[in-house]
Amino acid sequence: MIKDTIVDGFQNAPHRSLYHALGLTAEEQARPLIGVVSSYNEIVPGHMNLDKIAEAVKLGIAMAGGTPVLFPAIAVCDGIAMGHTGMKYSLITRDLIADSTEAMVMAHGFDGLVMIPNCDKNVPGLLMAAARLNIPTIFVSGGPMLAGRVDGKKTSLSSMFEAVGAYTAGKIDEKQLRKCEENTCPSCGSCSGMYTANSMNCLTEVLGMGLRGNGTIPAVYSARIELAKHAGMQIMELVKKNIRPRDIMTAAAIRNALTADMALGCSTNSMLHLPAIANECGVEFNLDMANAVSEKTPNLCHLAPAGPTYMEDLNEAGGVYAVLKELSGLGLLDTGVMTCTGKTLGENIADAENKDPRVIRPAADPYSKTGGIAVLRGNLAPDGCVVKRSAVAPEMLVHEGPARVFESEEEAIAAIYAGRISSGDVVVIRYEGPAGGPGMREMLSPTSAIAGMGLDKEVALITDGRFSGATRGASIGHVSPEAARGGLIAYVQDGDRISINIPAYKIELKVSEEEIARRRETMEIKTRTGVKGALARYAAQVSSADRGAIINRFE
């Protein structure tokens, strides 16, 4: 306990004097000191309500006999950062968040932690920190945004990006674009579809690190405040029983998360974040696990952008626990794993019920018999690449076409908007990987432009970068090795035939070995100029995407 090393004894009088400077009474100093890690800021819509969540958490801690102390974590809004240099800084914040949280906790000796993230990199970054620090920890997110309403139809951020493509193609006018702009994001919270933030918040429930409803209760519901109070109270039980993150996030729990990922149709970014979390837990995670799990796991949900339902609908249908109940009936989960409730996963989901089979398909009637994500391999991606299979039109599951090669996201967007992409093309965007970007930008703008222009059932897109959870269509990312580190994607030329077979998990550049060898001898690997500061440090240290774009601290 903190009082044993920092508070008790004559030698710690200087420490106690500084606690008094904080206004902490002797009684407060004698109680467990709980760090409340809040990602609150005023620029991220998903985080603008976290001050309320933090206050509720602190109240819950105090009610249960602890002393809460608040400190911050940074956050980037991927939607605002999308499509420009700012997106290079998104993924790197995952490690900045983990590292800065580690520094704060080790410097101040907290007895337990309540993590309050919401958006894309904060959830995995804080899960990584929790595993690394391994002191009692619980998560409570800020919750998802309500769906927008445009002309009587529910919408979300992906609809907004696709509206830009529709406007460019002349399918909607400026008035309709403005109507979408003003009505698509109606409340605070993480964007309302099964995008990366909501994917990771749901998987936090499955991992056992968040209470029931953590991933689905809308941000504006009062139930979210109650959840935060319960999380504050529950951390005191975890401290009392000394239940720690690595007692919870075991190999079995991570496999459960991967299984739920497939059923929910989560973002492909989970294939970066689950390996990174597993790495901090000391658990081996190979991308091939994804296909093995997918082969056994039915896809039960088609939330936006894959379908017409949203996080509020999943919440009303019974939430994550209802999905887990369907999966447990097939024997696909290890229900004996410990969770932050102090109970097993099986005990947690015992009374769960699927209240709306239109939102959560019964296991006997899935959208597909295989999961929402597939890992493809072949000469173009010998170490793997990732696609959100559940968001791909059936006619694009198998495709072959000529490559249209671009050296950056900006070049590709310009060509798409200029109408230079034709039906059947395979758009290749390279030098956007973890090291080559650097920062492995999400590329929602080009994929949404393709979808908005009505080409998502005719055009594929391949990149060593990554995609937003809001992306739909035959969008294949995380190509490993990446171009900047000599991957074959660096040597693709316009007109080369590329074959994609998602059901068979195959991707091939149909060029002879002799021609590939000639290109490797004559074509140079490109490097970005002017990269400095945090981006330069990240590029020098980061692993390939197939390993989760982790920082190689000890290599």
**pLDDT tier at 445 (50, 70, 90 boundaries)?**
confident
Work out the average pLDDT over 114-131: 97
Amino acid identity of residue 63, one-letter, is M
Amino acid identity of residue 523, one-letter, is M
Work out the average pLDDT over 40-52: 97
Q: Residue 72 in 3-state DSSP?
A: strand
Q: What is the mean pLDDT of the chain?
A: 95
- Calculate the CA 522 to chain-centre distance: 38
Q: Give me 532's structure tokens.
A: 């400095």
CB atoms within 10 A of CB 435: 26
User: Any idea what DSSP says for residue 155?
Assistant: E
R_g of the chain, CA atoms, integer Å:
23
Say which residue, 444 or 172, is predicted with more confidence. 172
Q: What are phi and psi of 372, to 5 degrees?
A: -75, -15
- The answer to whether the beta carbons of residues 302 and 264 sit under 8 Å apart is no
- The answer to whether the beta carbons of residues 36 and 116 sit under 8 Å apart is yes
Maximum Cα–Cα distance across the chain: 77
- The answer to whether the beta carbons of residues 485 and 433 sit under 8 Å apart is yes
pLDDT the model gives residue 2: 64
CA nearest neighbour of 109 among 161, 71, 62: 71
pLDDT the model gives residue 328: 98
254-258, 382-386, 466-470: which range is least confident on average? 466-470
- % of the chain at pLDDT higher than 90: 89
Residue 1 has pLDDT above 80, yes or no: no
pLDDT the model gives residue 280: 96
Work out the average pLDDT over 418-434: 96
User: Any idea what DSSP says for residue 190?
Assistant: B
pLDDT the model gives residue 451: 84
pLDDT the model gives residue 555: 38
Taking the CA atoms of 310, 316, 317 and 319 in sequence, report the sign of the dihedral they define: positive
Question: Which of the residues are catalytic?
Answer: 468
- % of the chain at pLDDT higher than 70: 99
Residue 537 has pLDDT above 80, yes or no: yes
- 375-412 burial, b at 16+ Cβ within 10 Å, e below that, comes to bbbbebbebbbbbbbbbbeeebbebebebbbbbbbeeb
Work out the average pLDDT over 204-230: 98
Place of tokens 């490109």: 526
69-73, 253-257, 283-287: which range is least confident on average? 283-287
CA distances from 60 to 136, 139, 225, 227, 231 (A): 16, 13, 10, 10, 7
**pLDDT tier at 81 (50, 70, 90 boundaries)?**
very high
**pLDDT tier at 468 (50, 70, 90 boundaries)?**
confident
Residue 554 has pLDDT above 80, yes or no: no
Q: Give me 366's structure tokens.
A: 């899935």
pLDDT the model gives residue 497: 98
CB atoms within 10 A of CB 115: 31
Place of tokens 């109650």: 226
- The answer to whether the beta carbons of residues 439 and 90 sit under 8 Å apart is yes
pLDDT the model gives residue 553: 53
Residue 275 has pLDDT above 70, yes or no: yes
Q: Residue 35 in 3-state DSSP?
A: strand
CA distances from 550 to 48, 124, 279, 300, 440 (A): 28, 12, 8, 30, 12
Residue 304 has pLDDT above 80, yes or no: yes
Residue 489 has pLDDT above 70, yes or no: yes
pLDDT the model gives residue 8: 84
Work out the average pLDDT over 44-50: 97
pLDDT the model gives residue 122: 97
Residue pLDDT, tens place only, 404-424:
999 999 999 999 999 999 999
Work out the average pLDDT over 34-40: 98
pLDDT the model gives residue 5: 77
Work out the average pLDDT over 293-303: 97
- The answer to whether the beta carbons of residues 409 and 461 sit under 8 Å apart is no
Say which residue, 521 or 164, is predicted with more confidence. 521
DSSP β-bridge partners for residue 425: none
Residue pLDDT, tens place only, 306-333:
999 999 999 999 999 999 999 999 999 9
Residue 459 has pLDDT above 60, yes or no: yes
